[in-house]
Structure 1
């Protein structure tokens, strides 16, 4: 590049996110770039999945609570809880969600990728602040999984407690 303007952290993260998307599905196992004093080294682990790899198998989150399922970032970028700065969040903690419902988005290089809820249930907690940079497959929210009857565990008890 011939542009001498220093990059911001946001620009660098966005550029790295774009590189990662370009490398998906390729056979490239290692890439090293240097530009304007910034050095990026990307190395893909080839071989069997290890226990430190993000879970995509429906396993419980790191808290050990089997009724909580993490929603994960689909890309590296900036996490947003709202569709636009002047609009309400996609969803608030305590609200019901359906499997596949959008609960946020990740912005990278002016491209927006939806963050989708993995299961039906109740949004327990948003783990990432609006505008925070997230990593690929980083948990961004926790969802309390619904039981077969359609209610999250403990919902009947809470409903009885709230009834006058």
Structure 2
């Protein structure tokens, strides 16, 4: 039998994922979850005990969590494509897969903002991969024109992070 905390964790994971339906069956315990209009409904049935327990998650008041990053990713790709028309801009790309951080810690200001002047050795962000924090340098002298990713966003190898107008 699953503990209530384990069930809550499963609900949270399903709610944050793009999965619309989830089923689990183990030792007579069955869990079935379906997302319906931004709600997660969970029904737990235990065939060993005759009781049926139903847990109703609180309605989500904002858009589905997975839909938002997908929309943002499309918008960012459109920004890159729109900016690609300006061939004189330099793209600072991620050298690895990881998590993008604009600052060294949450209570410190960002390394760079739009309009910041950078040199070849200016640290512009950190990409964290497997608990290693890698400082990313601009590798070009110029001005930050656009920041293409959000703080805490997962980035891919070669993904553009910044657009720089070279001097």
Q: Distance in 2 between matches of 1:62 and 1:90?
A: 22
Greater strand percent: which structure? 2
- Choose 61-70 or 120-129, whichever is displaced more: 61-70
Q: Distance in 2 between matches of 1:110 and 1:86?
A: 19
Aligned-CA RMSD value: 2.1
Q: Distance in 2 between matches of 1:72 and 1:95?
A: 17
Greater helix percent: which structure? 2
Does residue 1:88 correspond to 2:109, yes or no? yes
Does residue 1:118 correspond to 2:139, yes or no? yes
Q: Tell me the residue number matched to 1:136.
A: 157
Q: Which residues of structure 1 form unaligned runs of 5+?
A: 9-60, 147-164
Q: Tell me the residue number matched to 1:58.
A: none
Q: Distance in 2 between matches of 1:143 and 1:80?
A: 18
Q: Tell me the residue number matched to 2:99.
A: 78
Alpha-carbon displacement from aligned partner over 1:40-59 (angstroms, at most 9, x marks no partner)? xxxxxxxxxxxxxxxxxxxx
Q: Distance in 1 between matches of 2:101 and 2:158?
A: 15
Cα distance, 1:71 vs structure 2: 0.5
Q: Which residues of structure 2 form unaligned runs of 5+?
A: 1-8, 14-81
**What aligned pairs does 1:4-153 form with structure 2 within 5 A after superposition?**
63-146=84-167
TM-score norm. by structure 2 comes to: 0.49
Larger RCO: 1 or 2 (CA < 8 Å, sep 6+): 1
Cα distance, 1:62 vs structure 2: 6.5
Rg larger for: 2
